[in-house]
Structure 1
Amino acid sequence: MLNTFENYGWIARFFHWTIALAATVLFGLGLYMVELSYYDPAYKTFPSLHKSIGLLVAVLMVIRLIWRLISVAPLPISDPTTPHQNLQHKAASLVHFILYALPFALFISGYLISTADGRSIFVFDTIEVPALFPANKGLEDTAGLIHEIIAWSLAGFVVLHAAAALKHHFINKDRTLKRMLLGASTTTP
């Protein structure tokens, strides 16, 4: 259940894979939504779904961040044959920081897009998230552009993160990827 210095527990793996799946859905939904015309039947429902899922992911990310701060983290796998290992560990730490920071920037920009007209957001038409700022005509477009740039940036870092995990698995043949998969063994490399 809990992380150890060798492996991620199921709580950390749950957050990782749930948020990864939700982020993928949100990215795809966002790409589809921007192409909708006013007369498309999904013009109102998909943006509402995108906002609702986004707010749920925001809550999950806050809980995940708290979990990361209070639990131990598995130590990096050392391989003395890997050149520039310290540099790789620092790069990995930087990418992980970015993978936590960019979603929060996305949530803020998405919130500003959705509340730029002064109206609240409703999560699945039930929970109201009020607008904290008065209506601002230019805010929606500016926040929308920022939201798009951050979304594409996050997608790029996710691809980099996945490529690094696959490199560890197939080239280094270490257990870096296995530690984040369900039921991974920590006794064999």
Structure 2
Amino acid sequence: MAEAQPGPSVQPLTVEYDPVTGVPAEFNECLPKDCEEYKRWKASQEAGPSSAMAALTVEDGSSEAGAAGIAAPAAAAVEKKSSKKKKGQPEVVLERNTRNKKKCITTIAGLDAFGVKLAEASKLFGKKFASGASVVKNAEGKEHIDVQGDCLEQAAELIVKQYKDKVAKSDIYVMESKKKERYFDDDEVV
């Protein structure tokens, strides 16, 4: 019998990823032109490595900001971003939409922020207004209730009556001609 001769040894291929985009360097040109990674990569290519090095500074560590070193500006940037993401008070937004120039749909958004279960609320609205009501996700992925028919006024009254311990009159808004306004006047707010 013939003995098997060893074949050529195969070494695994090592790929280095670009630290800016997170993809192999040869794929950077193929990224979509409107994605953030491509824009950062293009900016770093245009600026060159010398401008990135010029932005770095060395602190002696005598001050509080110096003790943090280079991380201090990054921490300030993170803190600035988190302050923008703070949301205001939760609110219920009612909106009347028409489709096919005849049909009307009332949209109730924001009830879940008050701890109301949307499935139960949808069932309540459907029974109260004798129409179809369902929980629907919008384009942003947030859930809201769609009720068939024009029942905006009755829905606002029902929300205040049914969920008076959770939702105040001052938390209910209505969308009129793409402007959000309070539904109840300030003198009516209890």
TM-score by length of 1: 0.22
TM-score by length of 2: 0.22
Whichever structure has more strand as a proportion of its residues is: 2
Question: With CA pairs under 8 Å and 6+ residues apart, which has the higher RCO, 1 or 2?
Answer: 1
Whichever structure has more helix as a proportion of its residues is: 1
Q: Over alpha carbons, which structure has the higher Rg?
A: 2
